[in-house]
Structure 1
């Protein structure tokens, strides 16, 4: 039986320890408590079991991640991971989970869709689940933690032949460094079925926030309250695609409003379609800094929340301010080629 590599650093409460013991029961476990316990973590099944303190920290966790980073950008290559994370307050779980996924991806780790079970103070984040399960909050927490570990151990990523690729952007070809970088990547992709959609100004209205029942109704009708290009083109294209690449220039350390509106409107599709077999990639260009902020926002929305699978090295990032400056970055063409090859590894030749 394949072993679980259980990263459970720092001070752990008895209650959290009990959750993790039951979630990993039945599997052979190799426990990593500190950076000194790290051996080879390539081609492994990894569970990050993280309990945060009142300030949202777990110092031992980041010591482990730092040591892995120093071992090289391939220190987690071939591995898959999930996260069970608990906080003594209503804060920090999502933020730290996003950071773990971002850093692990840079080291070659992949994550399945919905890779996180988070528990906030008093387990209030599980209250909505009581509408589905006739269980206590703790029982729901335990159930989801166990199911997450089982999903990790059962996961066998399937390589898709003749993939359909969708590229989403909201930028201008004349001035966008992000689109210029995409063109470098595109030239090195061997994809026959590739579609690019430009989300133009005024074409996508942000989510109205319909009630659950109303959203389900529109979902069953393959529609949405506002209709328009989202219903006619974007949602069908995302549903049809095996892989979606989001081209995200950094807007105040965030995804642009137009692309964020697309993500928010995805809920109506999410009600009837599972995204677990759809890969997520991104190209992010910042004028000065902050590409990590955008990447974490994107993976938080689409991998953690909506359930797109996250391949290793899912994002290509660069810093370029003036129009065309991306072309002057030393070695950028090689990075584009490498990123294109990484995308192609998700598919059969």
Structure 2
């Protein structure tokens, strides 16, 4: 294992210390505890090890992120990160982790699939893993931390030449600012292998929550109990893709119902094959505010849960309300071009 930077703001609990030890395996580490002397972290391996108080806060963490943010949007360019987080109660671990991953990604940090290990106060969140690993909850947590650290240090993805790109949307062509923004991006992707899928009304129903055994049974047959367009077209296309672009207008600070249904139904694909070598991108437009809320939902659903890679600057976000307003957003063409160039350069496996 080569060098890793451990950002562990404040005083971590004894258990968080154990988690860090399991992740680093005694290898060379440099621990950062406050915002006073943060080295250049570009192109480094980073472990965010976070202890939350009962209210779900870690003030030193936000001070560190603020200092990095002030360095510019390339402060973590080329870095790769993972997150380990411990809280004395059952709340807050996921929301804080989402925020850390999103903020670091906006500064150029990439994240592997499954980049998070959470340890709630009584470790009840790890009971599903316990059924597989047949160990105590503490042993389960430390084993997952070991796997996380090993994957971080051994992951050196290479750019995929001529990648297969799938674009998923559920928007109306004549009114969607989000789709208009994607079309701006697409102008700079001419000649690329791109397949667009429109998730239309009536073509997909949401997951009904089959048992693990039932879901696993149908996944082995490349199918799903509920069938339909999801298993006939959408899942096979995702399975063959190197990158998936999610076109997400902000509906009440959340991904639209039809795309959420696609994510939920992807479980049958995930049961059969992990998605570590697939990159996720998104184009998000909000009528007023909240694009980051949608981006964080995608991070949690697709990377933390479903194992997609998060490339640097994975989300292109803008604010536009009236139909066609996106065309008048200041600098939007330049942003679309930069996003397209980053997308092609960062599809890696």
With structure 2 as the length reference, what TM-score do the two structures score? Answer: 0.98
Separation in 1 of the partners of 2:58 and 2:130? Answer: 30
Q: CA offset at residue 190 of structure 1?
A: 4.4
Shift in Å, 1:25: 2.5
Match of residue 273 from structure 2? 273
Report the Cα offset of residue 347 of structure 1: 4.6
Q: Is the 8 A contact 2:245 2:282 kept in 1?
A: yes
Moved more, 150-159 or 306-315: 150-159
Q: CA deviation at 1:158?
A: 2.1
When the two chains are superposed, the root-mean-square deviation of aligned CA atoms in Å is 1.1
The worse-fitting range, judged by mean Cα deviation, of 292-301 and 221-230 is 221-230
Superposition deviation, residue 15 in structure 1: 2.3
Retained in 2: the 8 A contact 1:167–1:246? yes
**Counterpart for residue 223 of structure 1:** 223
User: How far off is 1:346 after superposition?
Assistant: 2.1
Aligned length: 348
CA separation in 2, counterparts of 1:86 and 1:289? 30
Q: Distance in 1 between matches of 2:98 and 2:141?
A: 20
C-alpha distance in 2, partners of 1:19/1:200? 45
Runs of 4+ in 1 over 2 A off after TM superposition: none
Q: Deviations over 1:277-302 (max 9, x none)?
A: 00000000000000000000011100
Given that 1:114 and 1:304 are in contact with CA atoms closer than 8 Å, whether structure 2 keeps it comes out as: yes
Contact 1:165 1:191 in 2 (8 A): no
CA distance in 2, matches of 1:197, 1:8: 42
- Report 1:133-282 matches (<5 A): 133-282=133-282
What does residue range 1-349 of structure 1 map to in structure 2 within 5 Å? 2-347=2-347
Q: In the TM superposition, what whole-angstrom CA distance separates every residue of 1:232-278 from its partner, at most 9, and x where no partner exists?
A: 10000000100000000000000000000000000000001111000
Determine if contact 1:208/1:225 at 8 Å carries over to the other structure: no
Q: Is the 8 A contact 1:93 1:118 kept in 2?
A: yes
Structure 1 residues 33, 323: CA separation in 2 closer, same or farther (over 3 Å shift)? Answer: same
- Is there any run of 5+ residues in structure 1 with no aligned partner, and where? none
CA distance in 2, matches of 1:109, 1:278: 17
Secondary structure of the residue that 2:246 maps to in structure 1? Answer: strand
Match of 2:194, SS state, is strand
Q: Deviations over 1:133-156 (max 9, x none)?
A: 121110111111111011100001
Q: Do the aligned partners of 1:159 and 1:347 also contact (CA within 8 Å) in 2?
A: yes
TM-score by length of 1: 0.98
**Structure 2: gaps (5+ residues):** none
Secondary structure of the structure 2 residue equivalent to 1:47: strand
Q: In 2, distance between residues paired with 1:192 and 1:17?
A: 46
C-alpha contact (below 8 Å) 2:78/2:110 kept by paired residues: yes
Is the contact made by 2:10 and 2:58 (CA closer than 8 Å) also made in structure 1?
yes
Deviations 1:130-179 (A, max 9, x none): 21112111011111111101110000112112211000000011000000
